[in-house]
């Protein structure tokens, strides 16, 4: 008896909301009871052999007609109990990890500038990381850079595009100090996995050699359930690179890297031009890895025992089968259970909307749809699906979609809501800082554009003023030239008239003298009319040459460019000086994408050194 009480005490309903369906059945039972009470009143007042003649057909044979109704009521109660998911036992099931997180640790020592991989190792590593982020199928990923020490470039996040933003900034110049400590990279990667709440994960090291301390650290990681994969960066023949003022060489040590991978329970591959090295390491599709238990732990899950009630329901409705009314009831009662069992067997599958889905499950499915839209680049659809969803993760994903759409203030507000709900969310804090920086940069660009527009307006006004002044000067010069030409012509005409008058006077005087004197054989002869006409033509030709010469001074010679050119085709000294000044200021702006990482790593190094002291 005590065992039965203990068993009933463990009764648990997986879908308790189905118990509300008992209310209509209870109402039906009350109605049947009321009819039976009305029938019992007539039995106490009328003889039994007279009842068939006094009662209606509904009450006639009530004793035989109540049993089908009671049978239907009992079948309905059992069906509702089966749909509610009664459970009396738990079953231990292993915790399978099908989508392991991946932490990529990239070597950023000076040796990555070696030229054995054209153009250098660093460029090849960036391209390989871009392929990994583009081809990896799901799972969270983080990026760590290491040299003398290890630093977080991007924390664990399911958004691979967010990690890809930092690839161009990766270079040895962002590291506070040069060195090669693979063991510290493994230790820091393990801390990222554990801080994110993962029991175990995969670490991908991209480097050219390993020492004994790194191998020992890989063994410790493997003992905790993690795996260490190694991607060899470089070639066995080696290459040279400049470290300060000296030339040094670096070679790929395959043996040490293979020992490192074996100690970490992983695999080794040398870098290739295609994705065959990533496929060999098994980091592209984490679902294809062999399922492993998380530290050998299992979880006790309630088992649905409602299917044991289905045979009883079928027996109760079996007499109605020939009438054709029981088939629909059996289908309705049995079709619900396979769906529930399938979802219990595969809890990690994407949920589908159904009538028994809870509010939190519907919200989770909606968030997954929004994440899928975000990964496809449909940020508007992602914002529409993620808006209004509760939870820190939903607000974080909403902030990412808003940031990609350029709606920086709304994205910052979404990140703030996520941090209020979950203050320890490093991804939300990190992305919020990035969006803040992008917003400030956008504001600076807008201010620069406004300043440039104002400067351009001022320049245009100055140019218009200068053009008007030059046009006025040209008009004044032309008017002065025309006035000078007219004055010269008048002076020439007056001079010619005076010369003609003087010549005529001299000729008249000579003629008068000749008329009074006796002509002699050697005396000069008077001018004939033909000679006077020739003299006039010569004077006219002389005046025409003078006028042509004057016009030649103000009109350009054919084939020679005019000295007076439009003001718009020339650049004034002030405009040229302003243009050169703007170019000089623009050249002084540093093109350094790694400045943010360098400053962040330097602050982290100082903090660590302060804690060590």
pLDDT at 290 (0 to 100): 42
DSSP for residue 57? T
pLDDT above 90 covers a percentage of the chain that reads 28
pLDDT at 5 (0 to 100): 64
pLDDT at 11 (0 to 100): 79
Q: Which of 305, 286, 297, 162 is nearest to 227 (CA)?
A: 286
Question: Alpha-carbon distance 256 to 210, whole Å?
Answer: 6
Question: Alpha-carbon distance 466 to 488, whole Å?
Answer: 32
Q: Does the pLDDT at position 260 exceed 70?
A: yes
pLDDT at 602 (0 to 100): 92
Helix H or strand E segment including 8: helix 2-9
Q: Does the pLDDT at position 320 exceed 80?
A: no
DSSP for residue 56? -
pLDDT at 48 (0 to 100): 65
Strand runs labelled E in 192-266: 202-207, 227-232, 239-243, 246-250
Q: Does the pLDDT at position 471 exceed 70?
A: yes
pLDDT at 603 (0 to 100): 92
Q: Does the pLDDT at position 427 exceed 60?
A: yes
Place 120 in a pLDDT band, splitting at 50, 70 and 90.
Answer: very high
Max mean pLDDT range (249-258, 319-328, 584-593): 249-258
Three-class secondary structure of residue 349 per DSSP: coil
Q: Does the pLDDT at position 57 exceed 70?
A: no
Place 346 in a pLDDT band, splitting at 50, 70 and 90.
Answer: very low
- Inter-CA distances, 91 with 15, 94, 164, 301, 302, Å: 18, 10, 43, 5, 7
Q: Does the pLDDT at position 568 exceed 70?
A: no
In SS3 terms, 262-323 reads as HHCCCCEEECCCCCHHHHHHCCCCHHHCCCCEEEEEEEEEECCCHHHHHHHHHHHHHHHHHH
Among 266-275, 341-350, 562-571, which is the least confidently predicted range?
A: 341-350
Q: Does the pLDDT at position 251 exceed 80?
A: yes
pLDDT at 36 (0 to 100): 66
pLDDT at 596 (0 to 100): 83
pLDDT above 70 covers a percentage of the chain that reads 66
pLDDT at 270 (0 to 100): 95
Taking only the tens place, the pLDDT of each residue in 506-562 is 665 665 554 444 344 444 444 444 455 666 666 666 666 655 654 544 444 444 444
pLDDT at 391 (0 to 100): 84
Taking only the tens place, the pLDDT of each residue in 146-183 is 999 999 999 999 899 999 999 999 999 999 999 999 99
Q: Does the pLDDT at position 341 exceed 70?
A: no
Place 103 in a pLDDT band, splitting at 50, 70 and 90.
Answer: very high
Please tell me which residue, 4 or 418, carries the higher pLDDT value: 418
Three-class secondary structure of residue 395 per DSSP: helix
pLDDT at 199 (0 to 100): 83
Q: What is the mean pLDDT of residues 208-217?
A: 96
Max mean pLDDT range (120-129, 243-252, 364-373, 513-522): 120-129
Place 495 in a pLDDT band, splitting at 50, 70 and 90.
Answer: low
Helix 212-223 × helix 182-195 angle, to 10°? 20
The 3-state DSSP composition of the chain as helix, strand, coil percent (nearest 5) reads 65, 10, 25
Q: Does the pLDDT at position 122 exceed 80?
A: yes
Q: Does the pLDDT at position 501 exceed 90?
A: no
pLDDT at 157 (0 to 100): 92
pLDDT at 543 (0 to 100): 62
Q: Does the pLDDT at position 217 exceed 80?
A: yes
Place 12 in a pLDDT band, splitting at 50, 70 and 90.
Answer: confident
Q: What is the DSSP string of 127-165?
A: HHHHHHHHH--SS-EEEEEESSSEEEEEEEES-HHHHHT
Q: Does the pLDDT at position 493 exceed 70?
A: no
Phi then psi dihedrals of residue 179, to 5 deg: 165, -170
**What's the whole-number average pLDDT of the chain?**
77
Structure tokens given for 457: 């307006």
CA dihedral 181, 182, 184, 188 (to 10 degrees): 140
pLDDT at 565 (0 to 100): 43
Phi then psi dihedrals of residue 557, to 5 deg: -75, 140
Please report the domains of the chain, with CATH numbers, ordered by start residue. Answer: 11-89+304-349 (no CATH), 102-296 (3.40.50.410), 355-448 (1.25.40.10)
Among 171-175, 280-284, 340-344, which is the least confidently predicted range?
A: 340-344
Three-class secondary structure of residue 253 per DSSP: coil
Q: In which residue are the tokens 């209004």 written?
A: 388
Question: Alpha-carbon distance 141 to 128, whole Å?
Answer: 15
pLDDT at 348 (0 to 100): 38
Question: Alpha-carbon distance 110 to 177, whole Å?
Answer: 10
Q: What is the mean pLDDT of residues 440-452?
A: 78
Among 54-63, 344-353, 498-507, which is the least confidently predicted range?
A: 344-353
Structure tokens given for 139: 């799972």
Q: Is the pTM of this model over 0.75?
A: no
Which distant-in-sequence residues (6+ apart) come within 8 Å of 535 by Cβ?
503
């Amino acid at each position: 008896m005590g065992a039965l009480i203990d068993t009933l005490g463990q009764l648990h309903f997986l879908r308790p909301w189905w118990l509300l369906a008992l209310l209509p059945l209870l109402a039906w039972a009350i109605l049947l009871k009321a009819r039976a009470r009305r029938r019992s009143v007539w039995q106490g007042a009328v003889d039994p052999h007279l009842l068939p003649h006094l009662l209606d057909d509904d009450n006639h044979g009530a004793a035989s007609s109540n049993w089908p109704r009671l049978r239907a009521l009992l079948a309905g109660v059992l069906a509702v109990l089966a749909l509610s998911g009664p459970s009396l036992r738990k079953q231990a099931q292993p915790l399978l990890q099908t989508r392991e997180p991946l932490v990529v640790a990239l070597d950023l020592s000076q040796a990555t500038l070696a030229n054995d991989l054209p153009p250098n190792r660093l460029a090849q590593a960036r391209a390989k990381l871009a392929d990994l982020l583009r081809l990896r199928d799901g799972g969270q990923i983080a990026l760590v850079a290491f040299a003398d020490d290890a630093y977080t470039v991007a924390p664990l996040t399911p958004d691979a595009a967010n990690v890809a933003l930092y690839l161009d900034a990766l270079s040895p110049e962002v590291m506070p100090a040069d060195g090669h400590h693979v063991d510290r990279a493994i230790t820091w990667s393990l801390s990222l996995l554990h801080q994110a709440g993962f029991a175990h994960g995969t670490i991908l090291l991209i480097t050219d050699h390993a020492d004994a301390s790194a191998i020992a650290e890989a063994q410790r990681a493997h003992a905790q359930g993690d795996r260490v994969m190694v991607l060899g960066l470089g070639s066995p023949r080696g290459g040279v690179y400049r470290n300060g003022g000296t030339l040094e060489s670096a070679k790929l040590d395959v043996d040490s890297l293979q020992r490192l991978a074996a100690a970490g329970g992983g695999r080794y591959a040398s870098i290739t031009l295609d994705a065959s090295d990533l496929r060999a390491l098994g980091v592209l599709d984490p679902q294809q890895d062999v399922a492993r238990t998380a530290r050998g732990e299992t979880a006790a899950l309630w088992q649905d025992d409602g299917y044991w009630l289905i045979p009883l329901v079928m027996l109760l409705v079996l007499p109605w089968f020939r009438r054709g009314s029981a088939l629909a009831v059996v289908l309705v009662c049995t079709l619900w259970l396979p769906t529930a069992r399938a979802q219990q067997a595969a809890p990690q599958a994407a949920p589908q909307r159904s009538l028994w889905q809870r509010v939190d499950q519907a919200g989770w499915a909606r968030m997954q749809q929004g994440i899928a839209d975000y990964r496809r680049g449909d940020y508007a659809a992602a914002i529409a699906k993620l808006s209004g969803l509760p939870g820190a993760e939903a607000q974080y994903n909403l902030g990412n979609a808003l940031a990609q759409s350029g709606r920086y203030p709304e994205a910052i507000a979404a990140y703030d809501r996520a941090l209020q709900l979950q203050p320890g969310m490093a991804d939300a804090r990190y992305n919020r800082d990035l969006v803040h920086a992008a917003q400030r940069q956008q504001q600076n660009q807008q201010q620069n554009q406004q300043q440039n527009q104002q400067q351009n307006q001022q320049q245009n006004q100055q140019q218009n003023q200068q053009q008007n002044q030059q046009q006025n000067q040209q008009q004044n010069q032309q008017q002065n030239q025309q006035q000078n030409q007219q004055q010269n012509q008048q002076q020439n005409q007056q001079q010619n008239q005076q010369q003609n008058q003087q010549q005529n006077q001299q000729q008249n005087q000579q003629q008068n003298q000749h008329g009074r004197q006796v002509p002699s054989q050697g005396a000069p002869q008077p001018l004939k009319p033909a000679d006077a006409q020739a003299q006039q033509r010569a004077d006219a030709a002389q005046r025409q040459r003078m006028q042509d010469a004057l016009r030649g001074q103000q009109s350009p010679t054919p084939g020679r460019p005019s000295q007076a050119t439009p003001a718009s085709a020339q650049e004034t000294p002030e405009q040229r000086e302003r243009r050169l000044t703007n170019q000089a200021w623009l050249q002084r702006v540093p093109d350094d994408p790694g400045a943010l990482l360098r400053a962040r790593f330097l602050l982290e190094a100082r903090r660590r050194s302060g804690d060590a002291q």
